[in-house]
């Protein structure tokens, strides 16, 4: 990557992984899991977390085979060629873009709760615009300031959730843990339906390999950061759900489940503290997204799938300034006009596609070069195959509308990328 320096350390990779996973999801989704699975909702986090751990381990092997930026896009390109690689990369970028917009909206919703006012929507709009503009400014200055911001926020959000669990455990009422599922119309009840609802909150570890070209010793740092981040987040999520379900009988009907649970056992002070943590957690996720998504765009432009101007870097700061600006505008529009749940559901479909492609890419690489050096998962092809099977099962939980929307995004992106590539090639002749 022209102008890119290797500045991200192992600690930065951990921060990127934690911020990529822990955003607004764990603060907003426990209600949906409670409605779908009732007393089994903590187990749903373990189900989806186990699947994501298998996928993260597969990503770790993939990351050990290249030190170039791009993440899932790069893996698919190396395994299947540029066109399929771009198709996967496009849906990956869309997933990241939607996730960024969803959590930016979640940030604005919690900010509106904290600051109040009659015009809640107006406060949310201002919150989205200020957040996205501020993160764009930090990313233009350099990747290291952005990484340091993410490192600090990752520590804050973990401490906040640990405090929620540590205090709330003493107030759990066992009678609340036997609630029956009560799904809303259109929601799929049961353990696996709840696990799919929680998928959005467990994804984001795939952000870690995207800036590999700007990471020190990426073959080691990236895989380790992904695996540890997923396992740690999964265990924490299950405990958070247990406390929320055990302290708030009306968890399934809450629009701010952790805030309301904290109010139930710690009063208004506890509710305010969790709202602050939720806002900072969303800020941390958005910080990681603001760093990662423009680098997807830049990679596509470098490989001729997007206009050349999007690969332009700042002469002063060495950052992809045009891609950062374009992503910031798109995220602001999406976050203002779509709600958190709609953005998260469509993002889940896109996430499954990129997970499957990376796991299959590992199998292809092993077949081509069975003696290749680098990190290799134990048990032969078992882990990637289980990961593919698990993600396919999760697709069964997706509604037809979401599948069609995801397919339309894939087709539109592939068509645009192919036309751009042909146009740029003609211009070179």
Is the pLDDT at 378 greater than 70, yes or no?
Answer: yes
pLDDT in tens, 323-357: 899 999 988 888 887 666 666 666 667 777 778 88
Give the mean model confidence (pLDDT) for residues 74-80: 83
How far is 89 from 186, CA to CA, in rounded Å?
30
Q: Which two tokens stand for residue 99?
A: 């996730």
Give the mean model confidence (pLDDT) for residues 371-386: 80
pLDDT in tens, 162-206: 999 999 999 999 888 888 888 878 777 788 888 888 887 888 787
Q: Give the three-state DSSP class for 301.
A: helix
Count the domains in the chain.
1
pLDDT band at 7 (very low <50, low <70, confident <90, very high): low
How far is 338 from 98, CA to CA, in rounded Å?
10
Percent of the chain with pLDDT over 70: 86
pLDDT in tens, 298-315: 878 887 778 888 888 887
pTM of the model: 0.78
pLDDT in tens, 254-277: 888 999 999 999 999 999 899 888
Percent of the chain with pLDDT over 90: 15
Is the pLDDT at 94 greater than 70, yes or no?
Answer: yes
Is the pLDDT at 143 greater than 70, yes or no?
Answer: no
Kindly state whether residue 73 falls inside one of the protein's structural domains.
Answer: yes
Kindly state whether residue 20 falls inside one of the protein's structural domains.
Answer: yes
Kindly state whether residue 5 falls inside one of the protein's structural domains.
Answer: no
Kindly state whether residue 2 falls inside one of the protein's structural domains.
Answer: no
Range of the domain at 27: 10-428
Kindly state whether residue 33 falls inside one of the protein's structural domains.
Answer: yes
Is the pLDDT at 2 greater than 50, yes or no?
Answer: no
Per-residue confidence (pLDDT) for residue 246, from 0 to 100: 92
Kindly state whether residue 1 falls inside one of the protein's structural domains.
Answer: no
Q: What is the crossing angle of helices 191-202 and 41-63, to 10°?
A: 50
pLDDT in tens, 35-64: 998 889 999 999 999 988 999 888 888 877
Q: What is the DSSP letter of 118?
A: S
Is the CB of residue 15 less than 8 Å from the CB of residue 147?
Answer: yes
pLDDT band at 33 (very low <50, low <70, confident <90, very high): very high
120-154 burial by CB neighbour count: b if 16+ within 10 A, else e?
Answer: eeebbbebbbebbebbbebbbebbeebbbbbbebb
How far is 211 from 147, CA to CA, in rounded Å?
11
CATH at 248? 1.20.1740.10
Per-residue confidence (pLDDT) for residue 379, from 0 to 100: 81
* Residue with tokens 């893996």, as numbered in its chain: 75
pLDDT in tens, 222-248: 778 888 888 989 999 999 999 999 999
Tell me which of 11-25, 34-48, 376-390 is least confident: 11-25
pLDDT band at 1 (very low <50, low <70, confident <90, very high): very low
pLDDT band at 426 (very low <50, low <70, confident <90, very high): low
Per-residue confidence (pLDDT) for residue 212, from 0 to 100: 65
Per-residue confidence (pLDDT) for residue 399, from 0 to 100: 67
Is the pLDDT at 146 greater than 80, yes or no?
Answer: no
How far is 239 from 377, CA to CA, in rounded Å?
29
Give the mean model confidence (pLDDT) for residues 393-406: 70
How far is 290 from 100, CA to CA, in rounded Å?
8
- Name the average pLDDT for the chain: 81
User: Residue 418: CB partners within 8 Å, gap ≥ 6?
Assistant: 83, 86, 305
Q: Which two tokens stand for residue 25?
A: 């999801």
Q: Give the three-state DSSP class for 8.
A: strand
């Amino acid at each position: 990557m022209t102008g890119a320096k290797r500045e991200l350390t192992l600690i930065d990779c951990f921060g990127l992984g934690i911020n990529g996973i822990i955003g607004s999801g764990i603060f907003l989704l426990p209600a949906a899991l409670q409605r779908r699975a009732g007393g089994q909702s903590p187990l749903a986090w373990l189900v989806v977390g186990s699947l994501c751990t298998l996928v993260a381990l597969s990503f770790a092997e993939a990351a050990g085979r290249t030190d170039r930026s791009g993440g899932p896009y790069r893996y698919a390109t190396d395994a299947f060629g540029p066109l399929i690689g771009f198709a996967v990369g496009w849906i990956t970028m869309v997933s990241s873009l939607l996730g960024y917009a969803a959590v930016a909206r979640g940030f604005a919703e919690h900010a509106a709760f904290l600051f109040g006012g009659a015009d809640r929507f107006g406060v949310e709009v201002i919150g989205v615009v200020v957040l996205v503009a501020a993160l764009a400014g930090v990313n233009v200055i350099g990747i290291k300031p952005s990484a340091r911001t993410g490192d600090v926020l990752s520590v804050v959000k973990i401490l906040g959730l640990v405090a929620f669990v540590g205090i709330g455990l003493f107030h759990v009422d066992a009678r609340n843990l036997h609630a029956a599922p009560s799904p809303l119309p259109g929601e799929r009840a049961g353990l696996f339906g709840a696990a799919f609802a929680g998928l959005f909150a467990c994804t984001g570890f795939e952000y870690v390999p995207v800036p590999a070209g700007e990471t020190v010793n990426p073959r080691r740092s990236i895989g380790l950061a992904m695996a540890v981040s997923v396992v740690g987040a999964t265990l924490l999520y299950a405990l958070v759900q247990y406390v929320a379900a055990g302290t708030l009988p009306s968890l399934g009907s809450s629009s701010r489940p952790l805030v309301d649970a904290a109010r139930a056992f710690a009063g208004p002070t506890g509710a305010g503290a969790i709202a602050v943590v939720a806002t900072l957690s969303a800020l941390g996720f958005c910080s990681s997204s603001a760093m990662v998504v423009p680098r997807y765009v830049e990679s596509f432009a470098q490989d001729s799938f997007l206009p050349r101007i999007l690969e332009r870097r700042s002469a002063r700061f060495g950052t992809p300034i045009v891609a950062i600006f374009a992503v910031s505008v798109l995220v602001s529009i999406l976050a203002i006009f779509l709600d958190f749940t709609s953005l998260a559901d469509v993002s889940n479909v896109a996430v499954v596609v990129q997970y499957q492609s990376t796991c299959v890419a590992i199998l292809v690489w092993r077949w081509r070069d069975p003696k290749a050096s680098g990190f290799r998962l134990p048990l032969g092809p078992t882990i990637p195959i289980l990961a593919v099977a698990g993600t396919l099962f999760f697709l069964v939980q997706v509604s037809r509308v979401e599948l069609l929307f995801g397919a339309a995004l894939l087709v539109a992106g592939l068509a645009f990328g192919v036309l751009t590539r042909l146009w740029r090639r003609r211009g070179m002749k």
